[in-house]
């Protein structure tokens, strides 16, 4: 054989052994994104190493095998779908540009999503989910994400820098990369391959889900959560929110009344929630009647302090009272130390506070309808948007108010520039100015008044422009809020509580100056508490603990006999 023949044979062998560049890119992206997500999940949830407060870890070989199978199948399938979309967009001939975008955009987007997700978890804990995000948005995902976007200034700068970098390299690839790059991968599955995957993957994931710890760990991974979420929707046959693929598996997929966390109807012989058999009712106290208001009553001033915890009463920092006005009012009036919100979201809490119903309906009884029917003049001065989460509509607030001032009507005076309903906040001094305008004369008190004031000072991020610094130190910048700075965060929060307390003192001084305080019932309460990184959690609404559920409840009238504990649903009847 001649030397030329040998050379040609070698070239053919090398061409045959040459790997498809698209396959190499796929393997590279899969490894990088998988390793990054594994590292983040392990750091956050310790699914292998365990740790304090971590009851679920993957240890035995069966769990490891189930975890690895579920993770690889979901991750590779998800990446395959992304590569197929990218391949179709670029066409068969543009291999170089396809490779560039696959190697640049796909990892960048996936890692960017991970970064955003874990930044969110540093604020809200691993308990965050779509339902909690929706609740934070007053029942609207749109409002919730608009609120989140108000945190995104640095993210926008990062995205702009990434876009510029991408554009520069895209131009270079477009004009200088060779056109004959072999990048045919990934091939189309075809209907046979698609059918085989559709038939094989659900049973595999069902088997993986049988390993509880593996299922718990896999739920932390985006691709698996996306795939199992789709299967969950397909197998939630009775539409009760649980399925064969939900975190808590539905053992009765065709019975909508029986599922995990279902309401167990007592003494019916059916175990609806699957826990400890059928619930046996030992007796229920009669509901407390709510008497009707009639005749000339006292003035009622209801003050809601957003995100103020029950332990604000008597709280001392550096030897000084954080809330001296609340503490004095608790000593001279009636203090209910065991008062609780049933839910950590303002919208639901306020609806219950005004109506006395845990699940109020539009048009039902409420304090606004009560006082309007009794001939009271009604005034609303709220530092938040009362349209947020349909609060005003549900309780008849706007319809039955003679004076209505909230963060929507005062939008031009909002503390922050962002105008999403969930982000609106108006300083309490502006509300007191509006109080003076409408109720600042003795003539305004010739008939009984019902006033509702909502001070937002203690809401996250615990400081807004113009808030005075009443405790020593400086407020923490919004970008520095993290678990590592928990003491600084807590001090900023308590300064906000101190400011809310000062606003209460200013209001009481106005009532006394008008000569109407002694003929008024002043009620101080909060919609929920707050965790400024107490127990590693920040915020409210996602943990059942004392910090997030216990609220201050103080009445200016002394010696009111109140059976404790008290919930927000008791307030209407109490007033």
Looking at residue 153, its pLDDT comes to: 53
Q: Which two tokens stand for residue 103?
A: 């190697």
Burial class (CB in 10 A: 0-12, 13-18, 19+), 42: middle
Looking at residue 332, its pLDDT comes to: 96
**Taking the alpha carbons of 303, 308, 314, 319 in that order, is the dihedral positive or negative?**
negative
| Alpha carbon distances (Å) from 428 to 27, 33, 43, 311 | 57, 47, 41, 22
Identify the CA nearest to 224 among candidates 68, 361, 57, 364: 68
Euclidean distance between CA atoms 59 and 155, whole angstroms: 37
Q: Are 476 and 485 in contact (CB under 8 A)?
A: yes
Looking at residue 139, its pLDDT comes to: 55
- Beta-ladder partners of 182: none
DSSP letter at 285 equals: P
Q: Which residue has the tokens 């095998």?
A: 65
- Reduced to 3 states, what is the DSSP secondary structure of residue 539? strand
CA atoms within 13 A on the CB side of 345: 20
350-353 contact pairs (CB < 8 A, 24+):
350/304, 350/391, 350/395, 350/527, 351/389, 351/391, 351/394, 351/395, 352/568, 352/569, 353/304, 353/525, 353/527, 353/568, 353/571, 353/572
Q: Which two tokens stand for residue 371?
A: 């006082």
Q: Which two tokens stand for residue 157?
A: 């700068």
Looking at residue 423, its pLDDT comes to: 64
Looking at residue 11, its pLDDT comes to: 46
Looking at residue 333, its pLDDT comes to: 95
Q: Are 426 and 413 in contact (CB under 8 A)?
A: yes
**Taking the alpha carbons of 510, 514, 518, 524 in that order, is the dihedral positive or negative?**
negative
Euclidean distance between CA atoms 545 and 537, whole angstroms: 10
Identify the CA nearest to 368 among candidates 343, 344, 388, 391: 391
Q: Are 55 and 126 in contact (CB under 8 A)?
A: no
User: What dihedral do alpha carbons 104, 107, 110, 116 form, nearest 10°?
Assistant: -80
Euclidean distance between CA atoms 293 and 378, whole angstroms: 14
- Reduced to 3 states, what is the DSSP secondary structure of residue 300? strand
Looking at residue 500, its pLDDT comes to: 97
Q: Where are the beta strands (DSSP E) in 93-139?
A: none
Euclidean distance between CA atoms 218 and 67, whole angstroms: 7
Around Cβ 29, how many Cβ atoms within 10 Å?
20
CA atoms within 13 A on the CB side of 170: 11
DSSP letter at 550 equals: B
| Alpha carbon distances (Å) from 157 to 166, 312, 405, 482 | 14, 39, 36, 20
Looking at residue 10, its pLDDT comes to: 42
Identify the CA nearest to 349 among candidates 400, 287, 306, 288: 306
Looking at residue 145, its pLDDT comes to: 56
Q: Are 139 and 61 in contact (CB under 8 A)?
A: no
Looking at residue 179, its pLDDT comes to: 59
**Taking the alpha carbons of 411, 414, 417, 418 in that order, is the dihedral positive or negative?**
negative
Euclidean distance between CA atoms 371 and 300, whole angstroms: 9
Q: Which residues of the chain have pLDDT under 70?
A: 1-19, 49-56, 91-95, 119-159, 162, 166, 169-184, 284-288, 294-296, 417-423, 535-536, 542
Looking at residue 417, its pLDDT comes to: 63
């Amino acid at each position: 054989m001649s030397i030329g023949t040998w050379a040609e044979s070698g070239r053919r062998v090398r061409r045959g052994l040459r790997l498809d560049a698209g396959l190499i890119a796929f393997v590279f992206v899969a490894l990088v994104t998988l390793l990054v997500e594994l590292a983040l999940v392990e750091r956050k949830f310790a699914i292998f190493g365990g740790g304090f407060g971590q009851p679920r870890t993957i240890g035995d070989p069966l769990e490891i095998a189930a975890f690895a199978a579920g993770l690889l199948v979901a991750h590779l399938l998800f990446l395959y779908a992304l590569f197929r979309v990218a391949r179709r967009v670029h066409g068969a001939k543009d291999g170089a540009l396809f490779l560039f975008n696959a190697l640049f955009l796909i990892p960048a987007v996936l890692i960017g999503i991970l970064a955003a997700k874990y930044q969110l978890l540093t604020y809200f804990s691993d308990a965050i989910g779509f339902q909690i995000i929706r609740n934070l948005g007053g029942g609207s995902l749109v409002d919730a994400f608009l609120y989140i976007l108000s945190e995104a200034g640095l993210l926008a700068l990062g995205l702009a820098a990434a876009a510029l970098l991408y554009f520069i390299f895209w131009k270079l690839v477009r004009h200088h990369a060779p056109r004959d790059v072999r990048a045919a991968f990934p091939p189309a599955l075809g209907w046979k391959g698609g059918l085989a995957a559709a038939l094989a993957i659900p049973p595999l994931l069902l088997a993986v889900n049988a390993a509880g710890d593996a299922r718990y760990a896999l739920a932390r991974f985006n691709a698996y959560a996306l795939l199992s979420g789709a299967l969950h929707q397909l197998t939630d046959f009775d539409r009760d929110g649980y399925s064969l693929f939900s975190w808590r598996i539905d053992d009765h997929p065709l019975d909508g009344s029986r599922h995990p966390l279902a309401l167990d109807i007592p003494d019916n012989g059916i175990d609806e929630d699957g826990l400890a058999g059928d619930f046996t009712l030992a007796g229920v106290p009669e509901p407390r009647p709510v008497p009707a208001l009639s005749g000339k009553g006292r003035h009622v001033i209801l003050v809601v302090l957003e995100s103020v915890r029950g332990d604000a009463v008597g709280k001392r920092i550096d030897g000084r009272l954080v809330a001296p006005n609340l503490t004095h009012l608790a000593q001279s009036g009636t203090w209910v130390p065991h008062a609780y919100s049933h839910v950590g979201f303002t919208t639901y809490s306020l609806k219950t506070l005004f109506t006395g119903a845990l699940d109020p309906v539009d048009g039902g009884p409420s304090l606004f309808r009560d006082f309007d029917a009794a001939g009271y003049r009604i005034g609303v001065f709220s530092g938040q948007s009362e349209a947020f989460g349909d609060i005003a509509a549900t309780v008849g607030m706007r319809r039955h108010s003679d004076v209505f001032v909230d963060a929507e009507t005062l939008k031009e005076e909002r503390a922050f520039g962002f105008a999403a309903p969930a982000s609106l906040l108006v300083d309490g001094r502006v509300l007191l100015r509006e109080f003076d305008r409408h109720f600042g004369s003795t003539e305004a008190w010739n008939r009984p008044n019902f006033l509702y004031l909502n001070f937002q000072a203690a809401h996250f991020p615990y400081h807004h422009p113009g808030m005075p610094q009443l405790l020593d130190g400086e407020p923490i910048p919004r970008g520095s809020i993290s678990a590592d700075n928990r003491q600084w965060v807590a001090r900023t929060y308590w300064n906000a509580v101190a400011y809310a307390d000062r606003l209460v003192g200013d209001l009481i001084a106005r009532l006394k100056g008008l000569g109407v305080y002694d003929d008024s019932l002043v009620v101080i309460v909060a919609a929920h508490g707050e965790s400024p990184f107490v127990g590693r959690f920040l915020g409210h609404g996602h943990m059942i603990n004392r910090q997030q559920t216990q609220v201050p409840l103080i009445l200016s009238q002394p010696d009111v006999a109140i059976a404790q504990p008290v919930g927000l649903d008791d307030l209407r009847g109490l007033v």
